[in-house]
């Protein structure tokens, strides 16, 4: 017989951790959108041309890309709760530095944004690891709903930013207040996270050694999941950055309708993430994400070649729906094994976030030669790659705890939270 030495997690603790994880995702989205909503005012105050502004904003990506590969060992050592708490405080410092720095010059803004990006990258890994922990304890997949929470946070941050602009509240006051609000809320909630390792698993299973981030970089499955996530991150990022431009310049829609097309994309993606768990529980990861990738391909093609505005909007909706679940499902797949979740999620996130860095210049470069609208076809091509490698996100097979193979985290059907079905495993 195997034995356990830890007390099982109570339903109250599970509910508290679920709420806390939502708070971490919403807080991250709120903080980022708060900054983004005031970029025009910062640009005007510092008198930046588009090229200079692009270089300033690159500081966020540089900070995130530095943090992502380092965050795996950090989360493994101190846990997702302490990581998110520490990074929330650091993000507050970065956001406040950028806000107050806008009164002084470019250099403090760049420093603040670099710190903000670094904190956001490690925070992202920590909260995604905790999301996989909550999924295991709930016995069902809800990662996509956490990511929907991030989207809701961005909407709230953007709306508040618009109100601050309308009320002529200064950037320094607005963003400093937003930083205090985010830090206070997230630090309070993240203390209620669950332990990253499954405390109810047998002693033999908990004796399986953790892996380093370097080891995770050598795992074919982890790397393929990273490519899978990159394809969906590229799909999402390009939609965020270029749908309005392509609708206005390519389809010659009025500016208001172009903005509405972007809103339709965000709405479809949020709806897909909110209702996705039911589909994942019923049909499994691989089937759902493969179908959504095909829907995304159809949506991009319809958007690019739409003969009338109504087809443009239909394509936008299908594009957003198709992009909705790839990123969160990839994070869930990286966390299937609780002992190795932190290292694998950091690797997957590092690969995936390259899409957010490469997406805007890639489409811009192709747009100079093909027009932005036609350049969007590259999104469909990457979704085609995701369709071909969708099997990589299926749950790890069950193994004996003493086996040298990595243990499988329990999960519903093919969502990675209960035992897989014969249909999904090919049995």
Same domain, 217 and 320: yes
- Within-domain flag for 207: no
- What's the mean pLDDT in 356-362? 74
Instruction: Note whether 282 and 314 are same-domain residues.
Output: yes
Claim to verify: residue 262 and residue 150 sit in the same structural domain = no
The answer to whether residue 242 sits within a structural domain is: yes
Residues 281 and 326 in one domain: yes
The CATH number that applies at residue 84 is 1.20.1250.20
Report the Cα 283 to chain-centroid distance in Å.
23
Element (H, E) at 409: none
Q: Give pLDDT tens digits for 233-259.
A: 999 888 877 888 788 888 888 877 887
391 pLDDT band (50/70/90 cuts)? very high
pLDDT-based confidence at residue 398 (cuts at 50, 70, 90): low
Residue 235: inside a domain, yes or no? yes
**Left, alpha or beta for 397 (phi > 0: left; psi -120 to 50: alpha)?**
beta
What pLDDT does residue 52 have? 78
Q: What phi and psi, each to the nearest 5 degrees, are found at residue 343?
A: -65, -45
Tally of domains in the chain? 2
C-alpha torsion 131→136→137→142, nearest 10: 50
Cα 202 to the center of its chain, rounded Å: 32
pLDDT at residue 420, rounded to an integer: 34
pTM: 0.75
What CA–CA distances, in Å, run from 160 to 103, 140, 148? 21, 34, 18
pLDDT for residue 1 is more than 70? no
Q: 121 pLDDT exceeds 70?
A: yes
Same domain, 403 and 271: yes
4 domain-assigned: no
For residue 213, what pLDDT is reported? Answer: 63
Shared domain check, 254 and 175: no
> Exposure pattern of 193-213 as b/e (b: 16+ CB <10 Å)?
bbbbbbbebbeebbebebbeb
Q: Rounded CA gap, 41 and 275, in Å?
A: 37
Query: How confident is residue 22, by pLDDT bands cut at 50, 70 and 90?
Result: very high
Burial 10-32 (b: 16+ CB within 10 A, else e): eeebbebbbebbbbbbbbbbbbb
Q: Given this model, what pLDDT does residue 198 score?
A: 56
Which of 53-67, 98-112, 335-349, 413-427 shows the lowest per-residue confidence on average (mean pLDDT)? 413-427
Question: Is the pLDDT confidence value at 393 over 90?
Answer: yes
Segment 302-320 mean pLDDT: 94
Q: Are 305 and 377 in contact (CB under 8 A)?
A: no
Site of tokens 């937003």: 178
Note whether 169 and 226 are same-domain residues: no
Residue 6 in domain: no
Tens-digit pLDDT profile for residues 76-85? 889 999 999 9
Question: Is there a single domain that holds both residue 185 and residue 290?
Answer: no
Q: How far apart are CA 148 and CA 150, in angstroms?
A: 5
Q: What range does the domain containing 266 cover?
A: 213-425
What SS3 class is residue 4? Answer: coil
Q: HSE (CB half, 13 Å, CA atoms) of 309?
A: 13
- Same domain as 24, residue 169: yes
The CA distance from 259 to 153, in Å, is 19
| 206 pLDDT more than 80 | no
pLDDT, position 51: 67
Final residue in a domain of this structure, among 166, 195, 224: 195
Are 370 and 305 in the same domain? yes
Q: Please name which of 383, 388, 425, 426 lies closest in space to residue 408, comparing C-alpha atoms.
A: 425
pLDDT-based confidence at residue 426 (cuts at 50, 70, 90): very low
241 located within any domain: yes
Phi, psi dihedral angles at 408 (to 5 degrees): -95, 135
| Within a domain: 41 | yes
Please check whether residue 178 is in contact with residue 34, taking contact to mean a CB–CB distance below 8 angstroms: yes
**Residue 377 exposed, middle or buried by CB count within 10 Å (0-12, 13-18, 19+):** middle
Helix axes 39-46, 50-101, angle to 10 degrees: 100
- Same domain membership, residue 228 and residue 110: no
Same domain, 180 and 219: no
**Is residue 201 in a domain?**
no
Lowest mean pLDDT among 88-97, 110-119, 150-159: 150-159
Q: Is 162 exposed, middle or buried, given 0-12, 13-18 or 19+ CB atoms closer than 10 A?
A: exposed
The candidate with the shortest Cα–Cα distance to 196, out of 343, 65, 86, is 343
**pLDDT at position 357:** 73
* Region 167-173 average pLDDT: 92
What pLDDT score does 309 carry?
92
Closest listed residue to residue 228, CA positions, set 327, 127, 362: 327
């Amino acid at each position: 017989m195997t034995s356990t030495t830890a007390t099982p997690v109570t339903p109250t603790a599970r509910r508290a951790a679920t709420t806390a994880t939502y708070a971490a995702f919403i807080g991250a989205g709120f903080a980022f959108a708060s900054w983004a909503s005031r970029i025009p005012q910062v640009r005007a105050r510092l008198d930046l041309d588009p090229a200079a502004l692009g270089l300033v904003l690159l500081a966020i990506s540089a900070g995130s890309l530095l943090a992502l590969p380092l965050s795996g060992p950090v989360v493994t050592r101190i846990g997702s709760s302490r990581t998110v708490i520490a990074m929330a405080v650091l993000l507050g410092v970065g956001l406040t530095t950028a806000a107050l720095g806008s009164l002084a010059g470019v250099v403090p803004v760049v420093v603040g944004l670099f710190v903000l990006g670094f904190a956001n990258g490690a925070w992202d890994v920590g909260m995604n690891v905790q999301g996989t922990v909550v999924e295991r304890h709930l016995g069902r997949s809800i990662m996509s709903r956490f990511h929907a929470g991030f989207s809701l946070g961005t909407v709230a941050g953007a709306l508040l930013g618009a109100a601050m602009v309308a009320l002529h509240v200064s950037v320094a006051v607005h963003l400093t207040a937003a930083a205090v609000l985010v830090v206070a809320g997230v630090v309070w909630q993240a203390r209620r996270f669950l332990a990253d390792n499954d405390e109810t698993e047998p002693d033999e299973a908990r004796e399986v050694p953790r892996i380093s981030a370097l080891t995770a970089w050598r795992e074919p499955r982890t790397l393929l999941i990273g490519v899978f996530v990159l394809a969906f991150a590229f799909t999402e990022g390009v939609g965020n950055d270029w749908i309005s431009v392509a609708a206005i310049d390519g389809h010659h829609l009025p500016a208001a309708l172009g903005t509405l097309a972007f809103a339709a994309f965000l709405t479809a993606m949020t709806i897909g993430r909110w209702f996705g768990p039911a589909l994942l529980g019923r049909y499994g990861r691989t089937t759902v994400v493969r179908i959504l990738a095909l829907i995304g391909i159809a949506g991009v093609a319809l958007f690019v070649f739409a003969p009338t505005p109504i087809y443009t909007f239909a394509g936008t909706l299908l594009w957003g729906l198709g992009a909705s679940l790839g990123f969160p499902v990839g994070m869930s797949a990286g966390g299937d094994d609780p002992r190795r979740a932190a290292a694998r999620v950091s690797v997957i996130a590092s690969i995936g976030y390259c899409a957010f860095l490469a997406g805007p210049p890639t489409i811009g470069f192709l747009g100079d030669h093909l027009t932005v609208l036609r350049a969007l076809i590259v999104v469909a091509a990457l979704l085609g790659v995701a369709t071909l490698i969708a099997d990589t996100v299926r749950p790890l097979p069950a193994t004996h705890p003493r086996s040298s193979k990595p243990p499988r985290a329990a999960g519903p059907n093919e969502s990675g939270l209960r035992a897989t079905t014969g249909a999904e495993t090919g049995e």
